[in-house]
Structure 1
Amino acid sequence: MTAPARIRQEDIARALKGCKKAGFSPARVTIEANGNVVFEFSDGAPLPVVRANPLDRVL
């Protein structure tokens, strides 16, 4: 049996709604392996998508 999710979609939606209400424009939400939720904000310019691949060091 699997463990229940630490972070639910409702939690993220609630946090994003609060960010928008406070005047921030969230650009990206990242949920790290240890359960931390990271919100990144932009000033209008879209952020580039960067995904680190652990196999890049091998190749």
Structure 2
Amino acid sequence: MAARPALVSQTEIKRTLQAALSAGLRIGRVEVDHATGRVVVFPEGAAAQTAGPDPDELLR
């Protein structure tokens, strides 16, 4: 069984980061979802978003 090609390549990630840097963005974090091919660049100092409600609050 042959390996399937990646949806997002290292070259595409590199191009994305270079474009963000050349636009003056200070990169804080990068998320790559290899299942969908999605690359998300977060600027430096951006607050992390939660994926849902706080589980501790749900238990109260």
Match of 2:18 in 1: 17
1:3-52, Cα deviation, whole Å (9 max, x unpaired): 10111111111111111111001111111232211111114x8x78xxxx
The alignment partner of 1:24 has SS state of: coil
Letter in 2 for 1:5: A
Gaps of 5+ in 1: 49-59
- Normalised by the size of structure 1, how large is the TM-score? 0.62
- Normalised by the size of structure 2, how large is the TM-score? 0.61
Identity %: 33
Instruction: Identify the structure with bigger relative contact order (alpha carbons < 8 Å, sequence gap 6+).
Output: 2
Superposed, which structure 2 residues align to 1:1-59 within 5 Å?
1-32=2-33, 33-43=35-45
Letter in 2 for 1:26: I
Aligned pair count? Answer: 46
Gaps of 5+ in 2: 49-60
The alignment partner of 1:18 has SS state of: helix
